[in-house]
Amino acid sequence: MTGNRAVAYKSAGVVEVIDIDYPTFELKDGPGVNPANVGRKVPHGVILKTVTTNICGSDQHMVRGRTTAPSNLVLGHEITGEVVEAGPDVEFIKVGDIVSVPFNISCGRCRNCKERKTGICLNVNPDRPGSAYGYVDMGGWVGGQAEYVLVPYADWNLLKFPDRDQALEKIMDLTMLSDIFPTGFHGAYTAGAGVGTTVYVAGAGPVGLAAAVSAQLLGAAVVIVGDLNPERLAQARSFGCETIDLTKGEPGEQIEQILGVPEVDAGVDAVGFEARGHGKDADHEAPATVLNSLMTITAAGGALGIPGLYVTGDPGAKEKAAQVGSLSIRLGLGWAKSLSFTTGQCPVMKYNRQLMMAILHDKVQIAKAVNAQAISLEDAPRGYAEFDAGAATKYVLNPNGYVKG
């Protein structure tokens, strides 16, 4: 038995590294754990020694106090690890394997899982379809921003890397497979990015940058990224994207300056419910802004991929309707233009193996695109603070020293 250190949400704007229990093959009561999950046996699970675990923009929503997350909730749903213990029902995953963990927890047995809809598994969260590690209202599975973490349904959930040495050499890229790379790819793919298309990505945070890289990987002719943050826009330009500064106003006119027309074939919302206005309104929240602007600038018959997070409960919202996830979106415009919408959690397992192969065979450099930087677990509070302040960086926590240099 060994100790365990983890990053926990304490209160709005505050995270701390705390001591927690070493995982066992049973769900225990604790902050955020659904009472119906307490005592749940996990003989099909493994315990991972964390190789890398990343800070995500979705974590930031909780840390800003914009959800009902309880104090001491252990954070972290982007996990890569080494198997150190396997439950008695695990058959194919072995101790010593280096694996990527999809952020969505799924059983592999229910109707949705069998249809590859792993983001809305029916069996892992008693409250609603879909679950994730270290996230409010997602069943209470303990987060992975820790030295050790339990992963259920291991034979189903885990993506094993074929070669340990190669995996550790490319770990800063491979760590993105747990969430933001598949999520960004899902946004670009469901928006219809493909050979010769024009794509607009709203938001130049890590998911937006991953969506932009994914659109390029899918063959887009032009990828345009919009944001309010000049450092993040510079990061998008670093790998060949066009950019627009949304402090100057709505995106349509700037898109026309780039393409000759004020519209694109495919639109991606990588911002979510904490969106701000454009131009003179950029100093305050306007949660429907991105969705409405995308419906305006996406060509008739096009599609919107929406990997940006929208929630059913936002107690920090200024508008009463927005506090329950109700937004004033121009659905009539979307209907009139025959636009398609894809929302919800990315079904990571639909994409992660193919994206792993693209990384291993040098077809994409996702870590460079999102400006990944490894920091220690103890340095996580600084990483959260700098990311919240707009740093153009994807912070990768290195709890056990696997990442060298």
In the chain, the domains with their CATH numbers are: 5-179+347-397 (3.90.180.10), 183-342 (3.40.50.720)
pLDDT in tens, the chain (405 residues): 578 999 999 999 899 999 999 999 999 999 988 899 999 999 999 999 999 999 998 898 899 888 888 999 999 999 999 999 999 999 999 999 999 999 999 999 999 999 999 999 999 999 999 999 999 888 889 999 999 999 999 999 999 999 999 999 999 999 999 999 999 999 999 999 999 999 999 999 999 999 999 999 999 999 999 999 999 999 999 999 999 999 999 999 999 999 999 999 999 999 988 888 888 877 777 888 999 999 999 999 999 999 998 877 777 777 787 777 788 889 999 999 999 999 999 999 999 999 999 999 999 999 999 999 999 999 999 999 999 999 999 999 999 999 987
How high is the pLDDT of residue 313? Answer: 73
With CA atoms as reference, report the closest residue to 398 among 172, 59, 95, 178. 172
Helix axes 352-360, 180-190, angle to 10 degrees: 110
How high is the pLDDT of residue 48? Answer: 98
Question: What secondary structure does DSSP assign to 242-311, as a single string?
Answer: EEEEGGGS-HHHHHHHHHSSS-EEEEEE-S-TT-B-SGGGTTSB-TTHHHHHHHHHEEEEEEEE--S---
Helix axes 289-297, 251-259, angle to 10 degrees: 40
Cα distances (angstroms) measured from residue 88 to each of 5, 85, 135, 153, 293: 26, 10, 27, 12, 52
Query: Which residues are registered as beta bridge partners of 54?
Result: 396
| Amino acid occupying residue 72 | N
Query: Which residues are registered as beta bridge partners of 85?
Result: 47
Residue 394 and residue 147: Cα distance in Å, rounded? 19
How high is the pLDDT of residue 312? Answer: 77
Query: Which residues are registered as beta bridge partners of 252?
Result: none
| Through-space distance between the first and last CA atoms of the chain, rounded to whole angstroms | 29
pTM: 0.95
How high is the pLDDT of residue 1? Answer: 52
Would you call 181 exposed, middle or buried from its count of C-beta atoms within 10 A (0-12, 13-18, 19+)? buried
Residue 97 and residue 94: Cα distance in Å, rounded? 6
- Residue written as tokens 């107690």? 315
Residue 367 and residue 344: Cα distance in Å, rounded? 24
- Residue written as tokens 């066992």? 24
Helix, strand, or coil here: 225?
A: strand
